[in-house]
Amino acid sequence: MSIHPFIISRYIDIYIVVNNLRLKYPLFFITLGIFGIINTELGVVGILPMIMDKYKISATVAGMLVRSFASIIALFGPWMTLLFSKINQR
């Protein structure tokens, strides 16, 4: 089984672009990552009324979803960063 040369060259082009962006715009990627985490955390806030209706629970109990997710991120996020920073990226 061989890989078509176009696919390999396309992969190399994408790899070069990503690596250049990584070096030129580190603040952009940090901002994008933080936006993703916050958006995921607060995304459930918009569907809390639907969760309350579906599972017949109070707003307090449904709101604990947001609190528990934020607590897990706050507690384990720095430790996961330290753990995965030792892994070779290649």
- The beta-strand segments (E) located in 2-83 are none
Provide CB contacts within 8 A for 55, sequence distance 6+. 62
* pLDDT in the model for residue 75: 92
**pTM score over 0.85:** no
Asked if 50 contacts 57 with a C-beta cutoff of 8 angstroms, the reply is no
What is the chain's Cα-based Rg? 20
CA dist 22 and 42 (Å) reads 27
Instruction: Report the pLDDT averaged over residues 54-78.
Output: 88
Residue 86 has pLDDT above 90, yes or no: no
* pLDDT in the model for residue 15: 55
Residue 82 has pLDDT above 50, yes or no: yes
Residue 22 has pLDDT above 60, yes or no: no
